[in-house]
Amino acid sequence: MTKFIEIKLSGKAVMYLTERELLNGLDPNIYIAAIKRGKAFSRSRKMREHQPKLPTRDRLSF
């Protein structure tokens, strides 16, 4: 089964492309920049999810 990538455009338009269609139409520099951007988004999301919790009053130990 072919997987499709959904791209929402401004307004009501939505495009569905296969991975191959998308990669064939991209300039290699855009492809590289998009992968780097995706890695940055992923790292940022992981950092937010794994922030240490502040100690609460009942977890304080003296």
Comparing C-alpha atoms, which of 30, 31, 22 is closest to residue 3? Answer: 22
List the Cα angle 16/23/19 in 5-degree steps. Answer: 45
* Higher pLDDT, residue 5 or 58: 5
Burial class of residue 22 in the structure, from the number of CB atoms within 10 Å of its CB (0-12 exposed, 13-18 middle, 19+ buried): middle
Cβ atoms of 48 and 41 closer than 8 Å: no
Chain segment 31-57, per-residue pLDDT in tens: 788 888 888 888 888 888 877 766 666
Question: What's the predicted TM-score (pTM) here?
Answer: 0.51
- pLDDT at res. 53: 67
